[in-house]
Amino acid sequence: MKQAEDRLFATGVVAEDLMEKAGQACAQAVRQFFQWSGQATLYVGKGNNGGDALVVGRELRKWGWKVEVLLSGEVAEMTDLAVKKLAEFNATAEGGGAGSERLGVRIVVDGLLGIGASGPLRGVIGERAEQLNQQRIETNASCFAVDIPSGVDGDLGTPYPGAVVADFTLSIAAVKAGVVQDAAINHVGRIVQIALPEIVITEASEDSVVLSPQNLAGILPRRDFDFHKGRAGRVGILAGSRGLTGAAILASTAALHAGAGLVTLYAEKSIYEILAVAAAPEVMVKSIDSIKDLEGDSADVLAVGPGLGSEPDPALLDLILNDPRPMVVDADALNLLARSPDAMVRLVENGQPRLLTPHPGEMERLFPAAASCEDRFAVVDRFIQERSYQGVLLYKGARTLIAAPGKPLAINSTGHPGMATGGVGDVLTGLCAGLAAQGASLYDAACLGSWLIGRNAERWISEGRESVESLTASNIGSEWGMAFDDFKNGGF
């Protein structure tokens, strides 16, 4: 970042112009997650990171927020640019552009330290960071860190003693390596990329990418006016068993909302009547005698596993290993692979297009070496390398990772802890299958599906319809329009 900024400033670009663009974009990001005005406290350091925070606060004040500023030292100790932004903030009158204020909306903005700092927080900075963290807890405020949470190492992700705990990290121009590390997750929260096209970072890694609407663009091309359901693809879903029919409903409904033209839910006879009544009216529920009935079906993409129970039909393994169609493999289908000797070896040898979507528990069953890996990145890398896996792996978690040979490791940051509830994985399975049916590769479907499901979960909270405690998979699996709009319109 330092080298990229130096190159830019050498062309005559003024630092203040860059600060204005960054700060205004950060303020827009706050607005994405908080649609009402409320109360904000800015924790301002002496350097230009503090200046960025003051621009954020100035914009929020224009929109009707009540904004308080807490400095970390005397004004005379601040950089000239930070002093100028403080004066501009003080001269800005409170406006009303954001709409009505919502009682109880509180945020804190961390502008104490930038990416150049390292080591434990000391002195007044440490005191302010402690005060910020305490305010976050006591007032249920959400913390927005400008560029990086103060006290988190930008390269390694190490949270030093006293580090700020952020709910959102507004990563300016590029996501720093430390921000995505496992050690930093609980200090970083949701990563929001603040694009600054002026900064060209030739040093950036090409081996990994944090997902955003910008790098996901083009996965779903705009539909022609004469588009019809046949061109939107056919999804076949094998899910559900006695007592676990909800998984089938969630997966099939998500495939519909992903845009698939036709969705068929395969139901064994013992649950056929249940699913026929409970499924969305647009889903075709087809009674099957055995899994072999799927072989001649017209589905373009298959999704298998959710809610099949601990003892699925043994013929399922043959379907997973040999069917030539793209397939999303989840839940009980993954457990079947894990219990079957040499199944993964045969899967690799057969080379059929597969997207495996394990959560950590399923991953350890599928790949026991995962238990000894130092972090999630190592789990994914070792699985791909040691198993010679040629398909797509979607490793679920607070930082979902998507990996495939020859592709950059994709890191997803959308979502929040409200997604820690049963059924969300079933929704993701159907969503990915629906995207793949429209022509997306399994890798692209996994990347876009991960971003969309997290963004849809965020909207339920930011729009005030649910809380992280009350949100359910059924909520997340419905009303997808605004999340798709955010993707198409280049949201954060």
196-211 pLDDT tens trace:
888 888 877 789 999 9
User: Are the CB atoms for 4 and 201 separated by under 8 Å?
Assistant: yes
State which amino acid sits at residue 189.
Answer: G
| pLDDT of 151 over the 70 cut | yes
Report pLDDT for 97.
54
How far, in Å, CA of 450 to CA of 428, rounded? Answer: 7
Report pLDDT for 24.
97
Cα torsion 7, 10, 14, 20 to 10°: value is 0
Domains identified in the chain and CATH numbers: 2-204 (3.40.50.10260), 234-488 (3.40.1190.20)
Residue-wise burial string across 443-470, b where 16 or more C-beta atoms lie within 10 A, e elsewhere: bbbbbbbbbbbbbbbbbbbbeeebeeee
How far, in Å, CA of 357 to CA of 393, rounded? Answer: 6
Report pLDDT for 116.
83
User: Are the CB atoms for 180 and 204 separated by under 8 Å?
Assistant: no
255-270 pLDDT tens trace:
999 999 999 999 999 9
Q: What's the token pair of residue 207?
A: 């081996």
Closest by alpha carbon to 33, among 169, 197, 178, 176? 169
How many other C-beta atoms can be found within 10 angstroms of the C-beta atom of residue 139? Answer: 14
Alpha-carbon distances, residue 303 vs 325, 364, 365 (angstroms): 10, 21, 20
pTM for this prediction = 0.95
Q: How confident is the model at residue 102 (pLDDT cuts 50, 70, 90)?
A: low
Q: How confident is the model at residue 100 (pLDDT cuts 50, 70, 90)?
A: low
28-87 pLDDT tens trace:
999 999 988 999 999 999 999 999 999 999 999 999 999 999 999 999 999 999 999 999
Alpha-carbon distances, residue 306 vs 165, 175, 477 (angstroms): 35, 34, 15
Bridge-partner residues for 192, per DSSP?
Answer: 170
Burial class from Cβ neighbours inside 10 Å (0-12, 13-18, 19+) for residue 15 reads middle
């896996």: which residue's tokens? Answer: 389
| pLDDT of 5 over the 90 cut | no
> How many residues belong to the chain?
492
Report pLDDT for 197.
85
| pLDDT of 99 over the 70 cut | no
Report pLDDT for 95.
86
What string of DSSP letters covers 1-69? -HHHHHHHHHTT--HHHHHHHHHHHHHHHHHHH--SEEEEEEEE-SSHHHHHHHHHHHHHHHTT-EEEE
How far, in Å, CA of 39 to CA of 105, rounded? Answer: 6
191-246 pLDDT tens trace:
999 988 888 888 777 899 999 999 999 999 999 999 999 999 999 999 999 999 99
Report pLDDT for 101.
64
Q: How confident is the model at residue 118 (pLDDT cuts 50, 70, 90)?
A: confident
343-387 pLDDT tens trace:
999 999 999 999 999 999 999 999 999 999 999 999 999 999 999
How far, in Å, CA of 342 to CA of 324, rounded? Answer: 19
| pLDDT of 446 over the 70 cut | yes
Closest by alpha carbon to 259, among 51, 415, 443, 487? 487
Q: Between 48-62 and 15-33, two packed helices, what is the crossing angle to 10 degrees?
A: 50
Bridge-partner residues for 409, per DSSP?
Answer: 208
Alpha-carbon distances, residue 85 vs 56, 80, 110, 111, 445 (angstroms): 10, 9, 16, 13, 43
